[in-house]
Amino acid sequence: MKALEVRNVSYRYPIGKSTVLEDISLTVDRGDFVAVIGRNGSGKTTLCNILRGFIPGFHKGKFQGEVFVEGRNIDEMSMGEIAIKIGFVFQNPFIQVSGVKKTVFNEVAYGLENLGIERDEIIPRVTSILEELKISELADKHPIDLSGGQRQRIALASVLVMDPDILIIDEPTSQLDPQGTEKVFEIIRLLKEKNKTIILVEHKMDLISEYANRVILLDDKRIIFDDKTENVLTNEAVPNHGVNLPQIAKVGLAYEKRTGKKLKRIPTTIDNAVSVFKELLQEEASDGRN
Ligand SMILES: Nc1ncnc2c1ncn2[C@@H]1O[C@H](COP(=O)(O)OP(=O)(O)O)[C@@H](O)[C@H]1O
Ligand SMILES: [Mg+2]
């Protein structure tokens, strides 16, 4: 079952000189975990906005093509219907905070209130999402007193509390130190276990390789690669598009170049690397005996 589909979409912002995306098509299956990568300005955030209907709904400009959410044309869906299906975490967590609520608890409850859900149901849902994200201690704080990293987690909580099937998450760790990043990825791991459909824009390749099953690379207004994670993140052409390969893949590629030997596969995760190099050592040991 398709969760999202984009057909031949092109877009230019109202004040933009040229199109940002040109004739983009892609499909996201239910349960997919798709990472979107690409250099700054390659249109990752724009693509997220298209998938969520903010383009052309909110941002005008020149839009062509079609977007489908679970098979329905997004044009025919109300903003409320889209909001229930798709959770959206903005790149800038300062945008996400409503500005009308005085505590984190009420901030996280805001979306549910807007849906007209009863207070009796809202309280346990907010309480449990704060617990799940390990931010219960922030419940009574004022949203403006939070650090960038805390806001990023509150933004995630506000979206997750709605329990949407599809999540679009735009650079959730941009404000975070490695520890904070790890916490966000724990949340993302949780979402993956719940079999949510996830579109994640992220620069940290080691994290993408660990979680995403598919990678889309944008550059030059187009989709350059759209393939399984292990295929994209071992492709030596990727750095030509302003994106690094995972450190461990670079090690694998460098090994092949320097030794002239082929590895069973180029590793993209630490686990891959351990098994690839273990096998290699065993082969070398048995070659040595013969
Ligand atoms: N609101 C806007 N109005 C005009 N141009 C925009 C707007 N937002 C983004 N752009 C331009 O569109 C291109 C893609 O931006 P964006 O989607 O934010 O890229 P990314 O998220 O990959 O960094 C950039 O050239 C950027 O300057
Ligand atoms: Mg962006």
Q: Which ligand is nearest to the CA of 47?
A: 1
- Tell which one of 20, 24, 42, 51 to mutate to probe ligand 1, the residue whose CB is within 8 A of the most ligand atoms: 20
Q: Which domains does the chain have, with CATH numbers?
A: 2-245 (3.40.50.300), 246-290 (no CATH)
**Total H helices, total E strands in the chain:** 12, 10
Low-confidence ranges of the chain (pLDDT < 50): none
pLDDT tens, residue by residue, 159-201: 999 999 999 999 988 878 888 888 888 888 888 998 999 999 9
Q: Is 43 in the pocket of ligand 1 (CB under 6 A)?
A: yes
At residue 115, the pLDDT reads 86
Q: Which ligand is nearest to the CA of 50?
A: 1
pLDDT tens, residue by residue, 83-122: 899 999 888 766 667 778 899 999 999 989 988 899 999 9
Q: What would the DSSP string read from start to end of 210-250?
A: HH-SEEEEEETTEEEEEEEHHHHTT-TTGGGGT-PPPHHHH
